[in-house]
Structure 1
């Protein structure tokens, strides 16, 4: 009894090749379709815009207030839609990352199936050995007296790379870098996509509002990727040495600053910087942005009493009134009487109201007022700094991708020019083509022909 080993081997080989055949025949044509790439790019751009317009990483109550069901924004955009779809955290949703992966796969497939073969084809050359072949070129000429030997130096002076196996035929090209440019562009875009995905998977976003003089560790994390590493945040802390605001002569805010120190677990300062808008503090991959400010408390005393400090809370005011903070200060030890103190900023006037809501007087920091039979002196209004804290390990990859993308765009502007020449007896046939800058190429070829022999009779087709 004999076994047909060839049939068994053929069956096994077919089984292994079947998946690849399916990918090549069914998947790759779809991935490399230009229409798919354009559609994905537009969808990604659309959701990126929505992530910019719709506030990200806010509380559910924020979206309920700003995106009610009646009336719905644009007739459909409500807080339920935003929270269900994930428009409140677009860049961290699975479907947005899936779009990025699909777009990157399309570019990668296009690179391997189209751009690399085009580059290989551009690196190969063939000679034209018959005059009729020159008639297919967009630009061709026939010279009566010029020779092939005099053409080569002219091409070399114009940085053409010359290939010549026989005495009567020649091929020259330059600008092959222009064929590499699109591949570099694709690599840059894919790196940007990889950086974005890596950042969403490994980064985190946090917010803290810290009173001036307090020390804190990053704990209020709003959003973190599944692979984010926050353990190292316990190894150090940050102290807000001082927070202050600079005002314009008209009383509006010019800039607000936070003098911040990074401390190790022993309390030793390892870094320090004064941050303001667009000038953050960076430490161990974590960036602290100056994003907001507030009033955290007030320091005061009665007559010659010790100094007291009470917290101040943000009041629920209308947008026309602006932001305000308030607290209640007891004026008797048994807390039976007291006054309300309201402040709008760190330098402005503070309002004091009695228990009936009547305005008693106004004061500024360092001033005293008589209230309920005692002298109340406001020593200081304590500001708090609002910090937006981010860690995005994908940023270096994104920046590198942008640099590669820009380099690829510049490389793509180089024209890939080709010139063929054939010597047949006393006649020289010259022709060429280029993939862009056609007018400039025609001018260059004419200059080369004129340089061959200014007295030649040239018939240009």
Structure 2
């Protein structure tokens, strides 16, 4: 089994994916491509890139999917290769870590303790009685903390105070956190969505539109814009715009919030951001048929208004706020058979038109400005997985950089006909603190042994 494992790890594929050079190359490549994805606007229509970058660079953007860099096949491939590299590097390091954690630190003899870089030793001419021995042990434990003991080590007693043995797993927390973040991102990519909607005041909608594909995405509930307000600076620039939204489920109001930029509404894992607004004209016209039946109709831009009794449809084509001192509007008119036409109306002046063999009169009663609130809508079920990965990442960094594996030994016994007390220590980081601790123990042992400073 060991031979098969060794042969597998010695294979060229294993060496390639466990290579540090591959990891560095992938990290640099991901960093560069992320910069490209930041410089080039993401999520715009293809026409936007053609108009702003020209036909030559547009072909590159379209071929490499640079308009959606972070969801492109090659970027996901890079992330996949980096994940494989990370996993294999982790597996390759695992046996060494297990060996470090399972090693017996109480099996060292006095010779090895004397060869350590941090050591102190005392030679005592007389035999140590029980009280003096206990005094030495107590002085060691007071600074070193809880310790293990083993009798008969190289003819003496060996004490070990060990801290941070588990810190070797910090690097695995780092590796795991990156994989957790990747998993969270993939969950958001495949199970979440992003879209937008322009919602007029007073209107209700139960879907949003994917900006790139133009496809509708059902919300599973409805959202109504009760009102929209905007405040301006003295120079006319927008200061704040606010949308008053209500969530309806089966025509019942279940949630309400007034949102502004950076203060979104969240409902059932879907977040609604205040992103933009648009002002559109809205006119009220008065229409009468040959039987002198009158009807007042409100017509907004981008919407169709119907007079059901006459089977007529109306739409607003153009609006001019000031024509000879009065508002004017160009109205589109169509009947149930699809025949259509248009005419201009000036406020206060009546116009006649014929449709489907009938004669009608129409006049422009009033006009005003109506707002549409622009909402960016996002669902990302993987966001909590990403936050978990970030928390593990911070914890892993803290362990790797600030938690040392520190070992302190105290050996008491006879060596070459002499009674020796050996103090030694070893750490993989924060050596200054180890020196301070050894100095404190040294001073305490000098006091117990009656040795001058």
Q: State the Cα distance separating 1:376 from its structure 2 match.
A: 7.1
Q: Secondary structure at the match of 1:191?
A: helix
Query: Does the CA contact (< 8 Å) of 1:115 and 1:182 recur in 2?
Result: no
Say which of 251, 262, 271 aligns to 2:247. 262
Higher strand share: 2
* Deviation by residue 1:353-399 (Cα, 9 ceiling, x = unmatched): 56xxxxx5799xxxxxx968759775531111111111222111101
Instruction: Tell me the residue number matched to 1:448.
Output: 441
2: CA distance between counterparts of 1:23 and 1:223?
A: 45
Whether the 8 Å contact between 1:181 and 1:408 is mirrored in structure 2 is yes
1:247 partnered with 2:232: yes
Change (3 A) 1:339 1:221: closer
Q: Distance in 2 between matches of 1:187 and 1:458?
A: 52
3-state SS of the aligned residue for 2:36? helix
Q: 2:100 matched to 1:121?
A: yes
User: Cα–Cα, structure 1 residues 214 and 28, in superposed 2: closer, same or farther, change >3 Å?
Assistant: same
In 1, Cα distance between the equivalents of 2:161 and 2:318?
A: 91
2:282 partner SS: strand
Q: CA deviation at 1:130?
A: 4.0
| Shift in Å, 1:157 | 3.6
Alpha-carbon spacing, 1:193–1:157, altered in 2? closer, same or farther (3 Å): farther
- Which structure's CA Rg is the greater one? 2
Q: Is the 8 A contact 1:125 1:171 kept in 2?
A: no
Task: Check conservation: 2:348, 2:364, Cα contact below 8 A.
Answer: no
Alignment of 1:167-246 (within 5 A): 167-222=156-211, 233=218, 235-246=220-231
**Larger deviation: 206-215 or 124-133?**
124-133
Aligned residues: 388
Q: Is the 8 A contact 2:184 2:385 kept in 1?
A: yes
Aligned to 1:352: 322
Q: Which runs of 5+ in 1 are unaligned?
A: 1-12, 71-77, 314-334, 342-350, 355-359, 364-369
Residue matched to 2:269:
285
- In structure 2, relative to structure 1, the CA distance for the partners of 1:433 and 1:208 (3 Å cut) is same
Q: Which residue of 1 aligns with 2:381?
A: 393
The alpha-carbon deviation at position 238 of structure 1 amounts to: 1.4
Aligned position for 1:410 = 398
Matched with 1:430 is 423
Alpha-carbon distance in 2 for matches of 1:160, 1:40:
44
SS of 2:207's equivalent in the other structure is coil
8 Å CA contact 1:119–1:179 kept in 2: the answer is no
CA separation of 1:57 and 1:151: change in aligned 2, threshold 3 A: farther
- 2:269 and 2:428 map into 1 onto residues whose CA distance is 45
Query: How far apart are the structure 2 equivalents of 1:250 and 1:311?
Result: 27
In structure 2, stretches of 5+ residues that fail to align are 287-293, 304-313, 329-344, 350-362
Q: CA separation of 1:204/1:372 partners in 2, compared to 1, >3 Å: closer, same or farther?
A: closer
The TM-score with structure 2 as length reference comes to 0.75
Q: Report the 3-state secondary structure (helix = DSSP H, G, I; strand = E; otherwise coil) of the residue aligned with 2:196.
A: strand
Greater CA deviation, 395-404 or 169-178?
A: 169-178
Q: Note if contact 2:208-2:377 (Cα within 8 Å) is conserved in structure 1.
A: no
CA RMSD of aligned residues (A): 3.6
Decide whether aligned partners of structure 1 residues 116 and 404 sit closer, same or farther in structure 2, where only a CA change above 3 A counts.
Answer: farther
Cα offset, 1:88, TM superposition: 0.9
Residue 30 of structure 1, aligned match among 5, 16, 28: 16
